[in-house]
Structure 1
Amino acid sequence: MRILHIGKYYAPERGGIERYTQALAEWSVARGDAVAVLCHQRAGIRERAVETIGGVGVRRAGCIAAPLYTPLSPSFPFELARALREFRPDLLHLHFPNPSCFFALTSPHARRLPWVVHWHADVPPDSNDWRLRSAYRIYRSFEQATLRRAAAVVATSQPYLHASIALTAWHAKTAIIPLGIADALPEVPKPSLWPAGTGLRLLAVGRLSRYKGFNVLIEALGRLHDVQLLIVGEGECAAELRALVHARGLDHRVAFAGALSDEDLASAYAAADAFALPSLDRGEAFGLVLLEAMRAGRAAVASDIAGSGVGFVIDDAITGILVPPGNAVALAEGIARLQDERLRARLGDAGRQRWREHFLLETSARRIDALYRSVAPNS
C-alpha cells in the first residue's frame, strides 16, 4: 500500500503527534508499505525541503508564520498536488487539528482517494483565547466537510470521542484506537540532569505552553520539600516559567533541560523517581508522555481532565494518581504520596504492565493497518 500522511510537523520536531506519526509511518515501511509525509517547516523557514527519514519520504512546505499554533503555508496546496502526482498514494491519512488538511477538499485527485482522519484533539470552541474562538467559527465548516468526506475516523480514547462536539455526528464511522509506543532499549541513567540535592526526582515533559500547566506544577513544588524537578521541553512560556521558579525561590530545585535527544530523554525517564503531567484542559487529549513513563516503570501523577484520554491511560490509584486540573494543593498532595517508595514501585510496575497490555505500538499500528485495508481494499 502507498500511504500519504498529512500533518502539521514531523521528526525531528518534538511532540506526541509527531512522535506517534513517525513511529506509525516507520512501522508501515518495515512491513513493506511505501510511506510519505507532507508537513510544514518551522515557522519562518520558507524554503521547501525533501528528505528521507527511516525509509519515509518527508516533504516539508515552507511556512511564513504560525499564529494560534496554525502554520501559514501558501505553498502547501502546490506541495500537496506535487505529492499526489509524484507519490501516487492509495489513501490519505490526515492528522488533526491541522487547517492545511483542508486543501484536500479542493483537490480532485485527493477526493478520489479514501481518507482516514486521525482525531488527535479538538479545537476548543470555548477556548479562553477569543482569537481561537473566532477562528473556530470559520474552521468548523471545513472541519465538518473533511469529516463528512472521510472514509473512517480514528479517536484515541472513548472518553475523548464522547466529549468531542466536533465528532458528534460521526460516531458510526469512528474507530477507537489508542496511541502506542514501542519497546526501547534500557538507557544508562543520567541523574546529573536534575538539580543537585536529595529527595524525589520528579520529571515533567512537554511543550512549555499554557495548557500544559507547568506553572501549577511549580506552585505545587513550592509546597513540598525534598523534591527536585526536571522540566524537559521548549515553548513560548519558557521565560515566564523560569521567572516563576525564581520568584518562588526554587532555582536550586528546578532545572530546565530544553529539548533532549531520544537517547537523553530515555535516560531522563530511567533516572526519574516519578513523573508529572499537570495539564489543564482537553488540549491534553491523550498524553503520550504518560506511556513513556509507564514503559519506564515510573509512577505518574496527572490531571484528571474531564473528557480527556488522560483518565483512560492512567487507572487512578492502580497505575498512577489523578488529581483535579489546575489545583496546586491537590497536585502537591499527589506528588507527596509518591515520596513513598513502595507505593511508587507498585504503581510503576502496574503501569508498565498496563502499557504492555494496551499501549504497544505494534497493537496500535496493526489496528490502523487493518483500517487502511478496510477503506482501500484493492490496494
Structure 2
Amino acid sequence: MRILLVTHYYAPEFGAPQRRWSALIQRFIAAGHQVTVAAPVPHYPSGRPTPQQSRDHRVGAVERGGHGETVLRTAYLPHRSDIGTRTADHVVAAADSLRRLLRRFTRPDARPDVVIATAPAIPSLLVGRVLALHWKVPLVAEMRDAWPDLVTHVGPAGAVPVELAHAASPAPLRKGLGLLIGYAKGAVHHTVTHRQQGAQTVVTTTGRFAEVLRERGIAEPQVVRNGTDLDGVHPQVDHAPGDHPELRCLYLGNMGRSQGLDTLVRAAARLREQGVPIEVRMIGHGVEATALAALAHELDAPVQVLPRIEHSDVEEQYAWADTVVVSLRGWAPFAWTVPSKLYELLATRRHVTALLDGEAAEVVREAGAGDVLAPQDEDALVRLWGRLAADRSLAAVRDSGRAWVAEHADDDVLAARYLGMLEDVVRGNAMEGRTAGA
C-alpha cells in the first residue's frame, strides 16, 4: 500500500503530532508499506528553522526520513505565536504542498492508494480533499484532539479575547469585534466540518470526540488514540524513605493558555506559607512561560520554570519527581480531548496529579494512576499536595497505569489498528471502482 501523509508538523521537530506520526510511520514501513510525507521545512515551535535545520532541510527537497519514508519539504512562512501569522504559515505550506504533490505524482501507477490529511493545520484538510478527488483515491481526515472546536472556542457568545478587549474601546467597537470574531470562528467550524464530511473516513484520538462527530453527521468516525512506546519509557521506582524532605511535583510539556498552570504556582505558594515542604518544576515552552516565572517570583512560590529539554533528558526528571502533573482548563472542548503526554506519564508508574475533566479524567481513574481534581481547582490541589507531602506512601508508584497503556495506548497496538483501517478504506475504494466500471 502506498500512503501519502499531508501534515504541517513532522520530525525532526518535537511535539505531539510529530511523535505520533513518527511512531506510526515506523511501524507502517516495517509492515512493508510505502510512505510519502508532505511537510514544511522544520520550523516548530519558534516559527523559524534553527541554523542546523536551515542547513539540513531546503524547500523542495526530497529527503529520506528516519524510518525509510520519503519526505517532501514544502514552503513555510516565518511566524510569531499569534493565530494570524500562524494561519498564514499554514496556508502557504498547504498551497505549496498541493502544487508539488500534483507535479510529483503524474503517473497513475505511482500515485498513493490513500491520502491522510491531518489537522492541525486545518488547510491540510483542503489539500487532502483536492488530491483525493483528483486521483480518485480515498481520503482519511485525521482530527487530532477536538479540531476545529479548540480553535473556535470562545466561551460565552460574543466574547472578545483579552488582548483585543483592551485595545478596542469604546464599547460599540468591542461589540463589533465580538460579532466579527464569532462569525469568523463559526465559518471556520462550518468549513472544517464540511471537509470532514468529504472524507471516506475521519480518525480522531478520543471516543468522546468521535461521539460529537457522529452528532454532526460524520458516519462511523474511527478512534486511534495517541499513545506511547512502552519500551522507550523506563518504569520508575519509589524513592528511598527519607531521600528528600520536600514533595516533588513535575509538570513537563506545553505552557500555553490551555493548561491553566497558574493554578500550580498559586497552590505551591500557599503550601509554602503553610510550612509544607514542596518543590514544583515546570519544564517546557509556550506563550505563558514568562508570565508563570514572573508569578512564581511575585508570590515567592517554590516553583522553577525551566526551558524545554531534549527527550533523552526526560527520564532524569521522572526519576526526580514524586508526582507528575497533567492539566487543562475547564473549557468545553477539553472534555473531549486527552493530552498525548498523559500516556507517557502513565507508563512511568509515577503518581499522577490530574487537573482534568471528561475523557482524560476517565482515563486516569480507569487506570488507577493517581488523583483527579477539577480543572483549576486551586483549593483541591492545595489539599491533595498537602496530603501527599504528609504521607508519601499516597504517591507510591503503581503498575496499573502502565498496564492500562499496554492494553489501550501502546504504539504497536495503535499502528496495527490504523493499518487495518487504512487497508479497509483502500479495499472499499477498489470495490467501488470495480462496481462503477461494470
TM bucket normalised to smaller: 0.7 to 0.9
Give the Cα–Cα distance (whole angstroms) in 2 for the partners of residues 132 and 302 of structure 1. 32
Matched, 1:113 2:128: no
Give the Cα–Cα distance (whole angstroms) in 1 for the partners of residues 35 and 143 of structure 2. 20
Q: Name the residue aligned to 2:32.
A: 32
Matched, 1:222 2:269: yes
Instruction: Give the drift of 1:26.
Output: 1.6
Indicate how the Cα distance of structure 1 residues 247 and 74 shifts in structure 2: closer, same or farther if over 3 A, else same. same
Instruction: Give the drift of 1:185.
Output: 4.4
* TM-score, scaled to structure 1: 0.86
Letter in 2 for 1:245: A
Q: Name the residue aligned to 1:126.
A: 153
Q: Name the residue aligned to 2:394.
A: 343
Q: Name the residue aligned to 1:91.
A: 114
Give the Cα–Cα distance (whole angstroms) in 2 for the partners of residues 31 and 283 of structure 1. 34
Instruction: Give the drift of 1:283.
Output: 4.8
Q: Which runs of 5+ in 2 are unaligned?
A: 106-110, 156-160, 162-177, 237-243, 432-438
Q: Name the residue aligned to 1:236.
A: 287
**Higher alpha-carbon deviation: 69-78 or 5-14:** 69-78
More helix by share: 2
Q: Name the residue aligned to 1:325.
A: 375
Contact 1:99 1:139 in 2 (8 A): no
Matched, 1:53 2:65: yes
Q: Name the residue aligned to 1:254.
A: 303
Q: Name the residue aligned to 1:76.
A: 94
Indicate how the Cα distance of structure 1 residues 84 and 218 shifts in structure 2: closer, same or farther if over 3 A, else same. farther
Give the Cα–Cα distance (whole angstroms) in 2 for the partners of residues 75 and 20 of structure 1. 20
Match of 2:127 among 88, 92, 103: 103
The number of aligned residues is: 366
Q: Name the residue aligned to 2:405.
A: 355
Q: Name the residue aligned to 1:194.
A: none
Contact 2:327 2:354 in 1 (8 A): yes
Give the Cα–Cα distance (whole angstroms) in 2 for the partners of residues 199 and 324 of structure 1. 24
Indicate how the Cα distance of structure 1 residues 114 and 106 shifts in structure 2: closer, same or farther if over 3 A, else same. closer
Letter in 1 for 2:77: C
Give the Cα–Cα distance (whole angstroms) in 2 for the partners of residues 123 and 8 of structure 1. 15
**Higher alpha-carbon deviation: 99-108 or 41-50:** 41-50
**Higher alpha-carbon deviation: 45-54 or 60-69:** 45-54
Q: Indicate the SS of the match to 2:228.
A: coil
Indicate how the Cα distance of structure 1 residues 140 and 186 shifts in structure 2: closer, same or farther if over 3 A, else same. closer
* TM-score, scaled to structure 2: 0.75
Instruction: Give the drift of 1:110.
Output: 5.0
Letter in 2 for 1:213: G
Letter in 2 for 1:62: Y
Indicate how the Cα distance of structure 1 residues 52 and 230 shifts in structure 2: closer, same or farther if over 3 A, else same. farther
Letter in 2 for 1:278: S
Q: Name the residue aligned to 2:356.
A: 304
Q: Name the residue aligned to 2:231.
A: 184
Indicate how the Cα distance of structure 1 residues 175 and 107 shifts in structure 2: closer, same or farther if over 3 A, else same. closer
> What is the percentage of aligned positions where both structures have the same residue?
24
Give the Cα–Cα distance (whole angstroms) in 1 for the partners of residues 92 and 187 of structure 2. 18
RMSD of Structure 2 on Structure 1 (CA): 2.9
**Higher alpha-carbon deviation: 294-303 or 67-76:** 67-76
Deviations, residues 119-170 of structure 1 (Å, cap 9, x unaligned) = 22223343254586443222223212211111111222222333x3x55234
Letter in 2 for 1:269: Y
Instruction: Give the drift of 1:360.
Output: 0.7
Matched, 1:266 2:284: no
Instruction: Give the drift of 1:297.
Output: 0.6
Contact 1:115 1:151 in 2 (8 A): yes
Q: Which runs of 5+ in 1 are unaligned?
A: 190-196
Contact 2:120 2:147 in 1 (8 A): yes
Contact 2:251 2:282 in 1 (8 A): yes
Instruction: Give the drift of 1:178.
Output: 2.0
Contact 2:205 2:224 in 1 (8 A): yes
Contact 2:235 2:348 in 1 (8 A): no
